[in-house]
Structure 1
Amino acid sequence: MNRTEPRESPRLIATFRRTRSVAVQWVVVSAVGFFGFAYLFGHVRAAILDTSLEPIIVPVFAPPDALPWLVASVGLVALIVVPHELLHGVFMARYGGDVGYGVDAAYFVLPYAYAKTDGTSYTRNQLLVALLAPFVGITAVGLAAMIVHPSSLVIVPLAANAAGSIGDLWMAGVLLQYPADVRVGPLPDGDAQGFGIYGSSSTPAEGGRRPGMRFLSRLVVGAVGTLALLATALVATVFVSLAVGSGTVVIGEPGSRWFLFRHELASGAGAVLLEFGTTTGLAAAAAGGLAWAGTRECYRALVLDRSD
């Protein structure tokens, strides 16, 4: 008779909780991300049409004329929510989950539709597939549709889906810091606003994270935060200029490597010209990411020295 070895129980090595602070960060990054993704997909459309995207000319509509476009845009955004959540659910069910759907608001801050399972445990890669399926799948279908019919309206649902995937991308970034053999399941205290990451005795040290992942995650957080702050500051500057001046805002020398942003009313205020210095913006984001990651690492080193 063969002896059966006792099965090793998984041990909790990390947790992710969707706190109020995280919910607020998702809202801010999603709002900024919508325009960032729209800008990116606009460049894709311009490449398909073999034209230049910039300067971007935005017509200024009177409220009655803008209403049909607003209704169409809101309708396209609402329609994208259903396939987004269905794709989450399809893959969660594929990996053994009993899926439920609904609508809620996280801490009365972040309204969202959801697909969820109760008590189901997934491998890291299974949950990554379930998290990223809507972002990858809908983006691929949208880009194919744009090639066939490069309408600017296609950009709206694409950008809305990508911005609505910020939470999914955030959680995927958390999971990618850990090796593929971990499992992801409910938190031990039953809190539905998050998940636990479970490993075994062979899971590496440093909280189970893969080497270098802590610094990389802080670098990404710092870069995204820098872009969000930069975009918010630019929008605020434009509103101030519109309130007290001509509305013209130029930061840097257009055409030079130091150019960052241009906002200008044109044609008797019938249109707005927008232009962005992508290279300068990305350089600022990289510098912000490095500064944040370096500061956090220095602070951690100081804390560890004091505890020794």
Structure 2
Amino acid sequence: MSDTVPQSPPQLIATFRRTRSVAFQWVVVSVVGFFASAYAFGHVLAAIRGGSLEPIVITILGPTDAVVWLVVSVGIVALVVILHELLHGVFMARYGGDPGYGIGVSYFLLPYAYAETAGTSYTRNQLLVALLAPFVGITAVGLAALVVYPSALLLVPLAANAAGSIGDLWMAGVLLQYPADVRVGALPDAETQGFGIYSTTDGGCSRIPGTQLFSAAISGAVGTLAILSIAVLGMVFLSLAVGSGTVILGDPAGRWFLFRHELRSYGQVHLEIGAPLVVGLTALGGITWALGREGYRALGLE
């Protein structure tokens, strides 16, 4: 006869909830992420072609051509969304789930397609694979396609998939703050969308040291990029409404160049972005936010 030690039930140690605030942040970051991704993939396309991306020349299309491009783009994005969610579902099923698919609107803010399972728990690494598979897989295939067929049209699905992966990357960032032996399952209450993180070891567990500071730095950097993008876009719209449509921030030939937007009389827009300064300001914003949060926490105010 052998004695068995009863195993304690999993202990809830953290939760992630998709609140109205989180949904709003996802909308903003997804829009910024679309254009940032298109810019980054545009540099890849330019390198493949053996040229330079900037200045980016955009020809203003007539109504008929604009409608055709819009319809084609929407069709491509729809196919990417379907493939994105199917990849989520494939890996959920691989790890024991029974995925269902659908379309919803989060807090009347964020329209989204989803793949989800009910009553299934995953290890941290299993859910990370399920979350990141569409971003990694579609990006890899899209970049390979760019090499074979270097067309600007491929930038649309690549950027759309990256923007649609913002929520996945966000949740992956939360999970990476915890050890690999935690399990991830449904929240104790079903009122809010999200997940719970459960410890499977006696005594529970906590965040991996340093990850909270790193997460704050990433959040600050993304927030800084969003603020910069919204401010610059607002300047462009204001200039188009009351002026020439030309906005130049910094010296295009100097080190402190941030942005240039020129509307030419022959129906073209010339864009140029000072990527080094943007990266520097974004990194500075991330570091400042992380240190500020850490100081706030050290003073016991959080």
TM-score > 0.5 by shorter chain = yes
Which residue identity is paired with 1:109? L
Q: Quick check: 1:133 aligned with 2:138?
A: no
2:71 maps to 71
* TM superposition shift of 1:214: 1.1
SS in 1 for 2:179: coil
Equivalents in 2 of 1:32, 1:120: separation in Å? 33
1:191 Cα offset (Å)? 3.8
Task: Compare 210-219 and 289-298 and name the one that shifted more.
Answer: 289-298
Residue of structure 2 aligned with 1:215, choices 186, 192, 213: 213
Q: Following TM superposition, by how much is the alpha carbon of 1:62 offset from its aligned partner in structure 2, in angstroms? A: 2.3
CA distance in 2, matches of 1:108, 1:126: 30
Q: Deviations over 1:97-145 (max 9, x none)?
A: 0111111111111111110000111000000000000000001111111
Tell me which of 218, 222, 225 is aligned to 1:224.
222
The answer to whether the aligner puts 1:297 opposite 2:289 as a matched pair is no
Q: Which residue of 2 aligns with 1:247?
A: 245
Distance (Å, rounded) in 2 between the aligned partners of 1:244 and 1:59: 21
The one-letter amino acid of 2:67's match is L
Rounded to whole Å, the distance in 2 between the matches of 1:30 and 1:232 is 13
TM-score of the superposed pair, with normalisation by structure 1: 0.95
Query: What is the one-letter code of the residue matched to 2:78?
Result: A
Q: Is residue 282 from structure 1 mapped to residue 279 from structure 2 by the alignment?
A: yes
1:302: Cα distance to partner? Answer: 2.0
| Runs of 4+, deviation exceeding 3 Å | none
Aligned 1:94-243 pairs, distance under 5 A: 94-191=94-191, 193-199=193-199, 200-204=201-205, 208-243=206-241
Alpha-carbon shift at residue 269 of structure 1 (Å): 4.1
CA contact (8 A) 2:19 2:192 kept: no
Distance, in Å, in 1 between the alignment partners of 2:90 and 2:131 is: 11
Match of 1:50 in 2: 50
Structure 1 counterpart of 2:187, one-letter code: L
Amino acid at match of 1:275: E
SS of the residue corresponding to residue 303 of structure 1 reads: coil
Residues 241-298 of structure 1 show CA distances to partners (whole Å, capped at 9, x for unaligned) of 11121111111111322111000112x2410000001110010011111111122122
The whole-number CA distance in structure 2 between the counterparts of 1:182 and 1:168 is: 18
Letter in 2 for 1:131: L
Task: Indicate the percent of aligned positions where both proteins have the same amino acid.
Answer: 67
The answer for the alignment partner of 1:41 in structure 2 is: 41
How far 1:10 moved relative to its partner?
Answer: 1.2
Equivalences, count:
301
The one-letter code sitting in structure 2 at the alignment partner of 1:201 is: D
Q: Could you give the per-residue CA deviations for residues 74-119 of structure 1, whole angstroms, max 9, x where no partner exists? A: 1111111111000000000000001111111111111111100001
Q: CA deviation at 1:203?
A: 4.2
Q: What are the ranges of 5 or more consecutive residues in structure 1 without an aligned counterpart?
A: none
Q: Give, in angstroms, the shift of residue 47 of structure 1.
A: 0.7
Quick check: 2:103–2:112 contact (8 Å CA) kept in 1? yes
Q: Give the match's secondary structure for 1:174.
A: helix
Structure 1 residue 64: Cα displacement: 2.4
| TM superposition shift of 1:303 | 2.5
What is the identity, as a one-letter code, of the residue corresponding to 1:209? R
| Post-superposition CA distance 1:191-245 (Å, at most 9, x none) | 45000001133544xxx11001111111100000000010010000011111121
Question: Is the CA contact 1:60–1:269 (under 8 Å) kept in the aligned structure 2?
Answer: no
Give the Cα–Cα distance (whole angstroms) in 2 for the partners of residues 147 and 46 of structure 1: 11
What SS does the aligned partner of 2:115 have? strand
SS of the residue corresponding to residue 253 of structure 1 reads: coil
Correspondence for 2:30: 30
Q: Aligned match of 2:267 in 257, 264, 270? A: 270
CA contact under 8 A between 1:17 and 1:195: conserved in structure 2? yes
- The secondary structure found in structure 2 opposite 1:61 is coil
Counterparts of 1:192 and 1:240, CA distance in 2:
39
1:63 and 1:226 map into 2 onto residues whose CA distance is: 35
Instruction: Read off the aligned partner of 2:84 and give its amino acid letter.
Output: H
For normalisation by structure 2, the TM-score amounts to 0.97
| Residue type of the alignment partner of 1:242 | L
Paired residues of 2:11 and 2:204 also in contact (CA < 8 A): no
For 1:277 and 1:302, the matched residues in 2 are separated by 38
